[in-house]
Structure 1
Amino acid sequence: MQGRICQKLDKLQVVWSHGLLPVSVAVRDDLVYVLNAGGEGSVQGFRLHKDRLSPIEGANRSLGLHNGNPPAFMTAPAQVEIDPEGEFVLVSTKAANVMFSYEIGRDGELSRHPVISDAGNTPFGFTFDTEDTLLVTESGSNELSRFELEKNGELDQIGPSVPNGQQAPCWIQRIGDFFFVANAGSSTISSYKVDRDGKLVLVKAVAADTGGGSIDMTTSDGFLYVQNAAAGNVQGYEVGKDGSLELVTEVTGLPKFENGIGMEGIAAS
């Protein structure tokens, strides 16, 4: 397993997110959308040009959630994403139990009103498995669900939700044919796949025991990297052909998440 050590990050620009408490970013080509979780919650679109961001007129939309700032964790919106076709911006809301879909206009502006779809019990993280189907973690019921994204932005559930017997599934990442879910409440990783009949199935309830409050994941070169906030470490796993996970590297001594302060995200290039 090869890697590079980055000595430092160079700050290129600081821009206002046009909201309170930005928590998630979605990027596709030169379009960037930021999810603000504080207060009513909002989405703001930006155009990326030569390493600089500029806000897009008509791309700021309130979610109308009426939270505080900072919001309570389980009432805050969790993730923003752009569908693979680049037609919609989607937002998971957690406690509202719905997902918002905004149509993207020609210049990156967003539809004035979203399509709002029921998305299970506390929809948290999500990822697409095809151009028009996505998988959504249900943190409240400890399940994973699959939805079809219709042409009008509505989400229709495909088959039943699939439980994993773990606690508080949050983030989800895809590697090959497998989908890995971080269960923050039980400090484990579960694995799923969609079979040949299009049915969502649980492969392993516990594909890995991280032992430290796994709250976020990222992928690079076919490896899965898991941030364990409570333990203050990052673990790297090699993914087998059968979807099994083998721990191959670990970085320890990072700041532990205590009293609302600590690591809350991870990314890889």
Structure 2
Amino acid sequence: MHNDAKDDRRAVYVMTNATPNAIQVFHRAGDGMLSPGASYPTGGNGHAPNPPLGFPILESQSALVLSRDGRMVFAVNAGSDTISSFVVRRGGELQRVGLVSSNGTRPVSLALHEGVLYVASADSKSIQGYRVGHTGELTMLAGASRSLSGSGIATIAFNRTGDVLVIASRGDGEPMGSLETVTVDDHGMPGPVRRQDVVKAGQAPFGFTFDRRGHVILSNLSLTGDSSVSRYSVAPTGEMRLIAEQRIFTTAACWVATATAGPSTFAFITSAGSRSVTALRVDRSGSLTPVGPLSATEQAAFTSGLALDCAVSMGDDFLYVLSPDGFSVPPFTGAGPAVVHGYRIEPSGALTSLGPPVGRLPQGATGLAAV
């Protein structure tokens, strides 16, 4: 694996999602070990409801995102309908440089490509685009708002070329979830919204990322131990086509991260209800192949509490997982702070624990990013 991140900026960032909201910094050593650093107010409020699944998080991926070079951090403030922007200083420390309206209600997920950022707001079922300045300030793009049809918005992300946005919605209160796509021009302006229903009975789309071939790797959550992972191609028009699907035998598979090791790409999926991390090899042929045994009791790793947000360091060497300690399987009741588990990603795609988890964060912490 390679290491693109500068040594003086190695860090892991976690959003507290509290009121007031803040970003907690964890300094990352060369061996992947974390040590707590300072906490930086976002200038807004988080949002910790008691949703149907019973734990106080945003139920979204990419509530906190990094720029590709690791020099800027952006976060949603779901309780005050705003977005905060930070620049990363030496040692991984943060300086807030902006706070803008999300132009929507309860922003939950962010998509960033070069100088354009989009936010998806769950309660207003909408997206809004912004221009990102050289110092991280955000300027709202007039006319760059679109209404969505899907309920329970979970994730928004750009494809690798930045000309298509994909939005996954769980379908709360609807028969099924959906994926929606929006083309984006060179000026960051959106085209029409294109929707396709993709979910089988008993499953709902949640988190996703793009592999290096530009395919979507999507988690399909199930509350009955039958979660799966899908791989889709995305055409420049926004049309999506299913390439592969792999059953992973877990409950509430939600968050997805990928890492590259030489010619191989690996996808890591965290399942809240199973407290597990699943590892899949993303094959060139299009298939998704388990790394090692895969069953309800055999996964790549298990966390001390619910397995929530996950992120891979920019060098593709380490995986970090956010986990509220003390929570049980459904109905997800319990007490305890949220902690961060760390794993070394082996060349085979296997995971090796870095030791006991670190941190003491609010239970509703949502959003994780790693440099």
- What interval of TM-score do these two structures reach, taking the shorter chain for normalisation? 0.7 to 0.9
- Give CA deviations for 1:210-231 in whole Å, capped at 9, x if unaligned: 1200110111131000000244
Q: Which residue of 2 aligns with 1:116?
A: 195
- Give CA deviations for 1:13-37 in whole Å, capped at 9, x if unaligned: 2110000111111111110111111
Q: Which residue of 305, 308, 324 maps to 1:215?
A: 308
State the identity as a percent. 28
Displacement of 1:255 in angstroms is 3.4
- Give CA deviations for 1:139-178 in whole Å, capped at 9, x if unaligned: 135000111112311111013x211111110011001121
- For 2:164, the aligned partner's letter is F
Q: Does 1:33 align with 2:118?
A: yes
| Unpaired stretches in structure 2, ≥5 consecutive residues | 1-30, 41-94, 327-337
Q: Which residue of 1 aligns with 2:246?
A: 162
Q: 2 CA distance for matches of 1:118 and 1:46?
A: 28
- For 1:162, the aligned partner's letter is Q
Q: Which runs of 4+ in 1 moved over 3 A?
A: 2-6, 249-253
Q: Which residue of 2 aligns with 1:71?
A: none
- Flag the 1:84–1:253 CA change in 2: closer, same or farther, 3 A: closer
- For 1:183, the aligned partner's letter is S
- Flag the 1:241–1:253 CA change in 2: closer, same or farther, 3 A: closer
Compute the TM-score of the two structures, normalised by the length of structure 2. Answer: 0.64
- Give CA deviations for 1:57-106 in whole Å, capped at 9, x if unaligned: 121111134xxxxxxxxx51101100001111110011242111101023
Q: Give the total of aligned pairs.
A: 253
- Flag the 1:5–1:52 CA change in 2: closer, same or farther, 3 A: same
Q: How well do the aligned residues superpose, as a CA RMSD in angstroms? A: 1.9
Q: 2 CA distance for matches of 1:198 and 1:106?
A: 29
Displacement of 1:198 in angstroms is 2.4
Q: Which residue of 1 aligns with 2:128?
A: 44
Considering Cα pairs closer than 8 Å and 6+ residues apart, tell me whether 1 or 2 has the greater RCO: 2
Instruction: Report if the CA contact (8 A) 2:310-2:321 is conserved.
Output: yes
- Flag the 1:236–1:115 CA change in 2: closer, same or farther, 3 A: same
Q: Which residue of 158, 161, 165 maps to 1:85?
A: 161
Q: Which residue of 104, 112, 136 maps to 2:184?
A: 104
Q: Which residue of 2 aligns with 1:185?
A: 273
Compute the TM-score of the two structures, normalised by the length of structure 1. Answer: 0.87
Report the 3-state secondary structure (helix = DSSP H, G, I; strand = E; otherwise coil) of the residue aligned with 2:231: strand
Displacement of 1:4 in angstroms is 7.1
Q: Which residue of 2 aligns with 1:70?
A: none
- For 1:214, the aligned partner's letter is A
Report the 3-state secondary structure (helix = DSSP H, G, I; strand = E; otherwise coil) of the residue aligned with 2:98: coil
| Unpaired stretches in structure 1, ≥5 consecutive residues | 66-74
Q: 1 CA distance for matches of 2:241 and 2:197?
A: 9
Q: 2 CA distance for matches of 1:150 and 1:84?
A: 12
